[in-house]
């Protein structure tokens, strides 16, 4: 593999063009976000004084800060720390992931557990930072995109969408042909995922001569989803604008006029075209209204955000140089030599395998902080019910310890538990190089189970006849929710434990019959507070609080279990006092499977930016 040169001025114009295009597209699409009809925009719906704030860029500013904080070795674990410190958005998957991170869970568990929005657009919109920090190295960009996406989309199409865009955008530094760039992006995601299927169909319809509006209708027919943020349809709309557009303006307008998640589709396509064209070739009438400013949403806070695109570009390039060096990419950023590429494409098979790896486990390298070649690797597997446990209940957790070193190790594994809990006794372990040990530990809680509970695995290493060292890996188990449920035939099943916020009558009772299903529990609120209590359902639903009817929705509405945009008729806003409260839910099942979520979140008006956040201290049925 020869050395490739990326001229620093070329690097600057591609990155600057990408960030400028991102601002243009986000400002165009934001005012019409969520509209599902065919639109007819010809320019910004409303000209702002500079760009509109947009989470599409906001979150990437946090990731730039994460790169600066942790360096090129950062993983989903460090990104999760940054999220919990600096991102106060309640939107869909963001809100669920943040709740999990606040309860001590780590990615991919934090992005998967109890999260109904893993197939959405929150992560595909964050791809540019990884492409720009790994210029000309699509496999590196896609790796970072994976680490990013599993923070809030683990196991879903959002992961594949971000990997696709990151690989494509990284390749722009080397390749300018549109079809070849799309092909490179497609190589980095599984052929069987919904995103890849939507892309293959779109490309075929374009080649067959379908008009752009016909292609839009076919996308919705074969790959559409009622949730306007669902990723495969929006990723296809992004590429549709590129395939059918005659120029920057036409491409952007065709993409945004498809509707749905318009700020995301337009912002990503704007970034792609901005990287390809450079800032000097972007039309002045689109550039002038947004200018050079970087506008940050108030719920994104606590770190030094760039003031303008020039600062953002220079900081991005500074970290890109470190990433290229850390990965031995054979790509050198040079201030004088002209850009020349000799780097061959790297294999992507291991990356696809990584993206398809189980999401119900966490992986750790020991000693803590190891970047490469750790001594030991630890995997904690929670199973399909996730990291949840109820009062006086038993939870099986699997621990696997792998000796990655070149010498034999021996010691013991044991568990550190909350007061009054019990677990399997400590186990002796002797591992030759390359060997692994798997331990199924039975953990039993007592009557004192909190909303989230801290535990730890202890690895005590022995040498000769002495304790040599001890390493502690902390993890959490959240309190499961105890409900009493009834089916339409009068069947009663007490003490049903649900691991998350979904009331799963199908799991508890079978729930095949049509009719009325009921559930009841107690909700404990530690302190009096304004409350947003949601019963999000895909069927008629009623909810009572302490005997008073607070939700009465007799219609069948599309399911939307989002903290900030659940249907108003399925939401109650009231002040709830400290203590225990009786909650009763009644739903009417039709021919479709029941999907019902009961959610305790804050109201919109909070003392600082960050509304509708999840109340992680509320417990269910634990009295």
CATH number for position 395: 2.60.40.10
**Which of 490, 493, 489, 485 shows the shortest CA–CA distance to 520?**
485
- Please report the pLDDT score of residue 575 as a whole number: 97
- Shared domain for 323 and 388, answered yes or no, is no
Mean pLDDT, to the nearest integer, of 97-125? 97
Mean pLDDT, to the nearest integer, of 578-598? 96
- Shared domain for 498 and 530, answered yes or no, is yes
Instruction: Assign residue 604 the CATH number of its domain.
Output: 2.60.120
Query: With 0-12 CB in 10 A as exposed, 13-18 as middle and 19+ as buried, what is 407?
Result: exposed
- Shared domain for 433 and 567, answered yes or no, is no
Containing 311, the helix (H) or strand (E) segment is helix 309-326
- Please report the pLDDT score of residue 353 as a whole number: 83
> How much is the mean pLDDT over the chain?
95
Q: Put residue 494 in one of left, alpha, beta given phi > 0 → left and psi -120 to 50 → alpha.
A: beta
**Distance between CA atoms of residues 176 and 281, nearest Å:** 15
**Which of 329, 1, 319, 325 shows the shortest CA–CA distance to 138?**
329
Confidence check: pLDDT of 492 > 80: no
Please state whether the predicted TM-score (pTM) of the whole model is above 0.85.
yes
**Distance between CA atoms of residues 241 and 182, nearest Å:** 13
Confidence of residue 45 (pLDDT cuts 50, 70, 90): confident
DSSP state of 602: -
- Shared domain for 462 and 507, answered yes or no, is no
| 3-state DSSP assignment of residue 309 | helix
- Shared domain for 470 and 497, answered yes or no, is no
- Count CB-CB contacts under 10 A for residue 118: 26
**Which of 498, 476, 482 shows the shortest CA–CA distance to 397?**
476
Residue found by looking up tokens 């039993």 in the block: 444
Confidence of residue 39 (pLDDT cuts 50, 70, 90): very high
Domain of 486?
481-620
- Show which of 478, 512, 545 is a domain's final residue: 478
Confirm or deny that 261 is annotated as ligand binding. Answer: yes
Q: What is the pLDDT of residues 259-315, one digit of tens each?
A: 999 999 999 999 999 999 999 999 999 999 999 999 999 999 999 999 999 999 999
- Shared domain for 490 and 343, answered yes or no, is no
User: Number of H helices and number of E strands within the chain?
Assistant: 18, 22
- Shared domain for 457 and 523, answered yes or no, is no
Confidence of residue 441 (pLDDT cuts 50, 70, 90): very high
- Shared domain for 467 and 324, answered yes or no, is no
- Show which of 351, 375, 390 is a domain's final residue: 351
Mean pLDDT, to the nearest integer, of 136-140? 97
Containing 277, the helix (H) or strand (E) segment is helix 262-277
**Distance between CA atoms of residues 311 and 66, nearest Å:** 16
- Please report the pLDDT score of residue 1 as a whole number: 58
Confirm or deny that 495 is annotated as ligand binding. Answer: no
For residue 427, give every residue at least 6 positions away whose Cβ sits within 8 Å of its Cβ, in sequence order, or none.
412, 413, 414, 437, 439
Q: What is the pLDDT of residues 349-396, one digit of tens each?
A: 788 888 888 899 999 999 988 888 899 999 999 999 999 999 999 999
Confidence check: pLDDT of 600 > 90: yes
| 3-state DSSP assignment of residue 250 | helix
Of residues 551 and 1, more confidence is placed in 551
- Please report the pLDDT score of residue 368 as a whole number: 87
Tokens representing 373? 């070649």
Residue 82 contacts residue 59 (beta carbons within 8 Å) = no
Domains identified in the chain, total number: 3
- Shared domain for 436 and 321, answered yes or no, is no
- Shared domain for 460 and 584, answered yes or no, is no
Mean pLDDT, to the nearest integer, of 513-539? 96
- Shared domain for 501 and 513, answered yes or no, is yes
Confidence check: pLDDT of 342 > 80: yes
Confidence check: pLDDT of 336 > 70: yes
Confidence check: pLDDT of 47 > 90: no
- Shared domain for 319 and 377, answered yes or no, is no
Instruction: Assign residue 119 the CATH number of its domain.
Output: 1.10.4080.10
- Please report the pLDDT score of residue 494 as a whole number: 75
Confidence check: pLDDT of 160 > 80: yes
- Show which of 478, 507, 529 is a domain's final residue: 478
Please give the share of the chain, as a percent, with pLDDT higher than 70.
Answer: 100
Confidence check: pLDDT of 426 > 90: yes
């Amino acid at each position: 593999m020869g050395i490739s040169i990326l001229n620093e001025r070329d690097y600057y114009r591609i990155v600057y063009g990408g960030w400028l295009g991102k601002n243009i597209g986000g400002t165009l699409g934001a005012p019409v976000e969520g509209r599902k009809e065919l639109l007819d925009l010809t320019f910004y719906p409303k000209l702002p004084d500079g760009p509109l704030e947009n989470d599409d860029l906001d979150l990437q500013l946090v990731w730039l800060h994460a790169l600066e904080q942790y360096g090129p070795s950062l993983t989903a674990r460090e990104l999760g720390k940054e999220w919990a410190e600096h991102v106060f958005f309640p939107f869909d998957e963001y809100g669920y992931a943040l709740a999990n991170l606040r309860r001590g869970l780590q990615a991919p568990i934090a992005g998967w557990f109890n999260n109904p929005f893993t197939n959405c657009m929150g992560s595909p919109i964050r791809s540019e930072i990884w492409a720009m920090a790994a210029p000309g190295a699509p496999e590196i960009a896609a790796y970072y995109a994976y680490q990013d996406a599993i923070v809030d989309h683990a196991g879903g199409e959002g992961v594949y969408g971000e990997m696709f865009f990151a690989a494509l955008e990284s390749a722009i530094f080397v390749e300018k042909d549109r079809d070849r760039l799309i092909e490179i992006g497609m190589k980095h995601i599984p052929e069987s995922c919904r995103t890849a299927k939507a892309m293959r169909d779109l490309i075929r319809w374009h080649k067959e001569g379908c008009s752009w509006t016909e292609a839009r209708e076919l996308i919705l027919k074969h790959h559409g989803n009622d949730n306007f943020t669902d990723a495969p349809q929006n990723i296809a709309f992004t590429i549709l604008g590129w395939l059918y557009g005659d120029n920057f303006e036409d491409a952007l307008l065709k993409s945004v006029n498809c509707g749905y998640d318009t700020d995301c589709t337009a912002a990503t396509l704007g970034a792609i075209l901005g990287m390809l064209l450079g800032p000097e070739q972007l039309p002045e009438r689109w550039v002038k209204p947004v200018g050079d400013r970087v506008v940050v949403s108030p719920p994104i806070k606590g770190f030094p955000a760039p003031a303008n695109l020039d600062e953002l570009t220079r900081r991005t390039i500074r970290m890109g140089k470190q990433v290229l060096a850390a990965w031995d990419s054979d790509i050198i950023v040079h201030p004088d030599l002209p850009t020349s590429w000799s780097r061959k494409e790297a294999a992507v098979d291991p990356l696809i395998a990584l993206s398809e790896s189980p999401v119900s486990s966490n992986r750790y390298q020991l000693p803590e902080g190891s970047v490469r070649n750790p001594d030991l690797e630890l995997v904690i597997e929670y199973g399909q019910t996730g990291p949840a446990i109820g009062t006086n209940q038993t939870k099986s957790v699997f621990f696997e310890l792998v000796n990655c070193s070149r010498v034999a190790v021996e010691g013991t594994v044991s568990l550190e538990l909350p007061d009054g809990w019990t677990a399997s006794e400590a186990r002796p372990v002797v591992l030759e190089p390359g060997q692994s040990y798997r331990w199924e530990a039975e953990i039993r809680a007592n009557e004192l189970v909190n909303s989230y509970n801290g535990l730890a695995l202890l690895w005590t290493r022995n040498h000769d006849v002495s304790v040599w060292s001890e390493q502690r890996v902390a993890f959490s188990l959240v309190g499961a929710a105890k409900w009493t449920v009834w089916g339409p035939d009068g069947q009663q099943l007490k003490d049903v434990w649900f691991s998350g916020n979904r009331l799963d009558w199908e799991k508890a009772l079978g729930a095949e019959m049509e009719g009325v299903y009921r559930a009841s529990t107690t909700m404990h609120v530690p302190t009096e507070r304004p409350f947003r209590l949601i019963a999000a359902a895909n069927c008629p639903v009623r909810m009572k609080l302490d005997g008073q009817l607070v939700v009465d929705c007799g219609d069948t509405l599309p399911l939307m279990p989002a903290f900030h945009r659940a249907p108003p008729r399925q939401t109650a806003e009231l002040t709830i006092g400290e203590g225990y409260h009786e909650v009763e839910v009644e739903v009417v099942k039709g021919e479709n499977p029941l999907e019902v979520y009961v959610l305790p979140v804050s109201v919109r008006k909070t003392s600082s930016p960050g509304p509708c956040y999840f109340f992680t201290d509320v417990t269910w049925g634990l009295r």
